[in-house]
Structure 1
Amino acid sequence: MTMTGVESVRLQRDPALGRLAQDPLIDTVVGLLTDQARRNSNAEFLRFAEGSWTFGEVDDWTSRLAHRLVDEFGVRAGDRVAIMLPNVVAWPVAWLATLKAGGVAVPVNSSYQRADLEFVLRDSGARLLVTDTARTPLVDEVRTANDDLADVRIVKTGSRDTLAQYPANRPAVAISGGTLANLQYTSGTTGFPKACMLTHDYWTQLGWICAGAADLDANDVVLTSQPFSYMDPQWNTSLCLTIGAPLVVLPRFSASGFMADVRRHRATFCYVLGSMPTLLFKQAPSTQDQDNDLRLVLCSAIPVALHAQLEQRWGAPWREIFGMTESGADLVSLPESTADVGTGRLGRPVPTKQVRVVDPQGRDVAEGESGELITSGEPMMLGYWNRPDATAQVLRDGWLHTGDVAVRETGSYRLVGRIKDMVRRGGENIASAEVERVLERDGAVVAAAVVGIADELFGEEVKAFVQLAPGVDESRATAERIITEARNQLARFKIPRYVEFVADFPRTPSERISKPVLKARAAERPGTTYDLSRSRT
């Protein structure tokens, strides 16, 4: 992809998302790196806590490591290589080297313990694991305890200096846009995760779409703080390879330090999700809040009530982008779409996608009516690794069934909840997400999770787990006040009957609350639950 290509897309700026309509000129991740190393060899590419590296340095390092993977470890096209590292530069180096060798990367959460690691290694068939000294004892334990995993070999990336004996040009392996690049495991909020099969052109198209949607170029600085094993830092990497800009990777997300890092690194763009916006907003205001270079924040699930305040506080537009690991990007609200602020609208389909809202029989519903959001087009996963039944269930007649409930409004879309994240109270279906959004509008609430619990009369009753801001009293009076406020915004049957305060929430790698783990934790170590049935009348 050349900068001319990016500029030509920009010439098509219009409400129909014309600037995203072209295909990327380079359709492999390794091709993007080769191109940037040729044209911008000395430009900064990766910035971690331990240092900074240029496009040329990373291209050289990853080529040499790729040759080592091929020559020493026998990696061949299609072989799976697991990567279990925290947010250090060795992570993207291992990823890019694996792809250059023709291998398939298998990202592994660096906090996984024995059962999780055993599952991913066994399920993926990976026989190489790139990891560090801190996690080697865990790998040894897994290898010793499982005969079928005894032959898993550990790889250390090493520095460029330790790889000097290997060639600096990438191995002569045939790689195309359709070549499998990742087995990307979903967060696994229900049972063990499934691996999405993602190709090279999945990543290049996703980087291209986000570059166009955010109107980014080589003068920008992209910042991420999510674990690199999750897909966001990976598409951020593809994004930076597309535009020739540096990627700043923080060791982890810290609500108290995030905006200071944005200022320090002069970041112009970042992506956040889950509880991150609420946690950031709950930090004490500072006179330095608007002392930053942000041009745009893309986010999934911006709190509706906080949307305008987030923009005002940090002086930059916040816009929604919607997608899944399975589908990359489906909907986006552009920086100029100021009418979307505070509406919960996700924007319009990207030009490479078609989006519909359908009933359980697959028929399109009328505008303003709720139904399942389904999507078709590119990028899209090939399917779930070794799970044809699960693939057939979610990919039907060329359409990905997201499991999200949405409504279509004047060409845009707004999420209502999840099909499987509903409380069924009597004859009413209650979207947990709707109740959670209302509870989180309360200044005392950091985050909320709404679940259904068994009830003899109604089948299920509504229970809210609530994390309070520091200093707020975890008392019945606090619970009653929060629920009383919610009564002004929700139908009576949606009001939580039960409230339990929690210090924190178990979360998936994508920073979403893991409700199965939350419910299991509450059953094992129950806290004080307030029955506020009188507050519903």
Structure 2
Amino acid sequence: MILLDKISKSLENWGSHPVMVELNTDGSENHIDAGQFLHRIDELTELFIDYGISEGVLVPLFIDNSWDYPAIFLALLRIKAIPVLAKLLYRRLEMDEIFQNSKPSVVICSADHLKNIVPWTQDILVLIYNNGEWSSQGEKKPMPGETAPGTVSVNYTYRGYGYPLGAMVGESGYLDAVRRYQSYVRFSHGRSVLALLPMSHIFTLISSVFLPLLNGLTMYIIKTLHPKIILETLKKYRIDYLSTIPEILMLLAKLYPEDMKIPSLRALVSGGSYLSEENHQFISGRFQVEVLNGYGLTEVAPVTANIRDSGKIGTIGEFCKELSCRISDSADSQSGEILVKVEDSFLGYLGRPNETSDVLKDGWFQTGDLGYEKDGMVYFSGELKRTRKVNGQIVDLKEVETALIETGMVKNAVVTGKTNHIHAEVSLKDPVESERQALKSLRSSLSEIIASYKIPKTI
């Protein structure tokens, strides 16, 4: 495993600065040096082997951000097991599909989230993580799953089919991705990054976990998205780089005090959602640092990036030089679909051959996103697929329609949307005396069926 070997070599030559600093909500800190982190990977490798986890075993992870998250991920890679990454916010509809699709025989779950996975784990082994301590329930022997050769992880995403798809990501989906990312952002050895988005998101793994581990940067792990605490953390710990979604950057910029200075901050990186030219200028102006905007997908990231010190506001950057990319011809529009040669970074969707063949044409990955190229820079112009982004999270419009029907209250539903705004037109099965009360009940029912960020803002 080249990725694991390179991370191990980086850690062996790390230096005196910490690998990670975990900032806990009670104000305490855990400083992790290179030796501790390597030892933790060794410990977890032995633990997982003792529980019967072996090559090819699919292991869904339902755990919060912590310094143990990357250690768990890397320990699984060492024994050639396959981490399955899904969001903690998923509810019944998403979980039904993920467990039916991946058919896991073992799950790793934090103690705090154990109650959320009970209906799907009655007959499988559950390894329970609780602040560094481990226990288990169930005795089923872990068995290998059926994945494409070379699969390193399965990362669930959406394409508008109405259900999550398990993207089988190859080693180059991480190793080459970090190399591309670093060639544009140019983070410096010995500096620091702040990790605040869920590590189940490939953007976080590439930008805030594996890039620091491979390039000698300290990773500060914060366990809150409270904007004032994030700003205080950036200043107090002299953070150099922050990679996050534009919605968080905008919130931080709006709340950034006039008299506050963060002299350590060298660059902000925006990804995971659309950043308008107006917002780009506002964020850059408030922080007085360069904001590097880029574009990528779970299946392949980054696809485009702005080069440090020469980025262009309003664009998603240039096509990454290491990738073969093009924009399909369109007879009636300046924009076309963004296409990428994925080779061995994306190996198809787990158990979904038809969906895989839909998106892979002669080796070209059909992103389902629209853009156009001008003067060597790429401009994002919308989505072809029936998905929209809400705070950096993909919302499948067809899945929301299904969820509305499954409440039992809705006869017909049509869901539309734009960035950060999902709208549903519904016809109810039965007459109601109070529309307001009916909508409240509908939203309450939806919260048990799908993740909260997918619930339509307007109905």
TM-score range, shorter chain: 0.7 to 0.9
257-266 vs 384-393, greater mean Cα deviation: 257-266
Matched, 1:32 2:6: yes
- Please give the alpha-carbon distance, in whole angstroms, between the structure 2 residues aligned to 1:102 and 1:41: 29
**C-alpha separation in 2, matches of 1:120 and 1:462:** 24
Matched, 1:299 2:270: yes
The Cα offsets for residues 288-345 of structure 1, whole Å up to 9 and x where unpaired, read as: 1x3231211111332211322322211210011111111111111112224x12xx21
Partner residue, 1:180:
151
The match for 2:176 is 205
Structure-1 separation of matches of 2:58 and 2:417: 43
- Aligned CA distance change for structure 1 residues 38 and 284 (closer, same or farther; 3 Å): closer
Read off the aligned partner of 2:326 and give its amino acid letter: R
Going from structure 1 to structure 2, the CA distance change for 1:230 and 1:29 (only over 3 Å counts) comes to same
- SS of the equivalent of 1:325 reads coil
1:420 Cα offset (Å): 3.5
- Spell out, residue by residue over 1:111-152, the C-alpha distance to the aligned partner (whole angstroms, 9 max, x if none): 3334433432332122221122222233334334xxxxx123
Where in structure 2 are the equivalents of 1:93-492 lying within 5 Å? 93-144=71-122, 150-156=123-129, 159=132, 179-186=150-157, 191-235=162-206, 236-283=208-255, 285-288=257-260, 290-300=261-271, 301-338=274-311, 340-341=312-313, 344-359=314-329, 369-377=334-342, 380-420=345-385
| Counterparts of 1:316 and 1:185, CA distance in 2 | 33
Structure (1 or 2) with the larger CA radius of gyration: 1
Question: Residue 253 and residue 38 in structure 1: after superposition, are their counterparts in 2 closer, same or farther (change >3 A)?
Answer: same
How far did 1:252 drift? Answer: 3.4
Q: Which runs of 4+ in 1 moved over 6 A?
A: 460-467
Distance, in Å, in 2 between the alignment partners of 1:330 and 1:464 is 22
**Contact (CA 8 Å) 1:114, 1:138: kept in 2 or not?**
no
CA–CA distance in structure 2, aligned partners of residues 379 and 331 of structure 1? 18
Question: Which residue matches 1:498?
Answer: none
Q: Is the 8 A contact 2:189 2:217 kept in 1?
A: yes
Question: Alpha carbons of 1:512 and 1:248: their partners in 2 closer, same or farther (altered >3 Å)?
Answer: farther
> Any unmatched runs of 5+ in structure 1?
1-26, 145-149, 163-177, 423-431, 437-448, 452-459, 468-505, 524-537
Q: 1:232 to 1:379 in 2, by over 3 A?
A: farther
Q: In structure 2, do the counterparts of structure 1 residues 187 and 257 end up closer, same or farther at CA, with 3 Å as the change threshold?
A: farther
Instruction: Give yes or no for contact 2:18–2:31 (8 Å, CA) kept in 1.
Output: yes
Distance of 1:270 and 1:462 partners within structure 2: 32
Deviation at 1:92, TM superposition (A): 1.8
| SS of 2:346 mapped into structure 1 | coil
**Aligned-pair Cα RMSD in Å:** 3.5
Q: Distance in 2 between matches of 1:246 and 1:293?
A: 14
**Greater fraction of residues in strand:** 2
Change (3 A) 1:401 1:355: same
AA matched with 2:174: W
Between 1:406-415 and 1:152-161, the stretch displaced more is 152-161
CA 1:382–1:161 in 2, change beyond 3 Å: closer, same or farther? closer
Task: Select which of 51, 65, 71 maps to 1:73.
Answer: 51
Query: Do 2:128 and 2:134's aligned partners in 1 also have CA atoms closer than 8 Å?
Result: no
- In structure 2, C-alpha distance between the alignment counterparts of 1:143 and 1:69, rounded to whole Å: 18
Return the alpha-carbon distance in structure 2 between the equivalents of residues 138 and 319 of structure 1.
Answer: 37
Aligned residue number for residue 430 of structure 2: none
Preserved contact between residue 94 and residue 157 of structure 1 (Cα < 8 Å): no
Equivalent residues in 2 for 1:77-88 (5 A)? 77-88=55-66
CA distance in structure 1 between the partners assigned to 2:14 and 2:130 by the alignment: 24
Mapped partners of 1:418, 1:188: distance in 2: 10
| Structure 1 position 61, deviation (Å) | 0.8
Residues 88/466 of structure 1: CA separation in 2 closer, same or farther (3 Å cut): closer
Instruction: Select which of 35, 40, 43 maps to 1:56.
Output: 35
Residues 406-451 of structure 1, C-alpha deviations (whole Å, 9 max, x = no match): 11101111011111369xxxxxxxxx99xx9xxxxxxxxxxxx9x9
Tell me the distance in 2 between the aligned counterparts of 1:196 and 1:466. Answer: 24
Instruction: State the AA in 1 paired with 2:211.
Output: L
User: Structure 2 stretches of 5 or more lacking a match?
Assistant: 25-29, 136-148, 398-413, 422-445
- SS of the residue corresponding to residue 48 of structure 2 reads helix
TM-score (norm 1): 0.66
Give the Cα–Cα distance (whole angstroms) in 2 for the partners of residues 202 and 414 of structure 1.
23
Identical columns (%): 16
Q: Give the residue type in structure 1 aligned to 2:101.
A: D
Displacement after TM superposition at 1:62 (Å): 1.0
* Aligned residues of 2:240 and 2:265 also touching (Cα < 8 A): yes
Distance 2:98 2:74 in 1: 20
Q: Report what 2:404 is aligned to.
A: none
Structure 1 position 188, deviation (Å): 7.0
TM-score by length of 2: 0.76
Q: Please give the secondary structure, in 2, of the residue aligned with 1:271.
A: strand
For the Cα contact (< 8 Å) 2:169–2:345, is it kept in 1? yes
Q: 1:465 to 1:308 in 2, by over 3 A?
A: closer
Residues in 2 aligned to 1:462 and 1:107: alpha-carbon distance in whole angstroms:
27
For the residues of structure 1 that align with 2:281 and 2:116, how far apart are their CA atoms?
46
Deviation at 1:251, TM superposition (A): 1.1
Residue 292 of structure 1 aligns to a residue whose secondary structure is: coil
Cα offsets for 1:172-194 (capped at 9, x unmatched): xxxxxx83221011157762211
Distance 1:378 1:261, change over 3 A: farther
How many residues are matched? 392
Secondary structure of 2:348's aligned partner: coil
Measure the CA separation in 2 of the matches of 1:188 and 1:273.
Answer: 20
Q: SS of 1:99's equivalent? A: helix
Separation in 1 of the partners of 2:416 and 2:91?
33
Counterpart in 2 of 1:46? 20
- Deviation (angstroms), 1:280: 2.4
Q: Secondary structure at the match of 2:175?
A: helix
Cα separation, 2, equivalents of 1:80 and 1:237 = 21
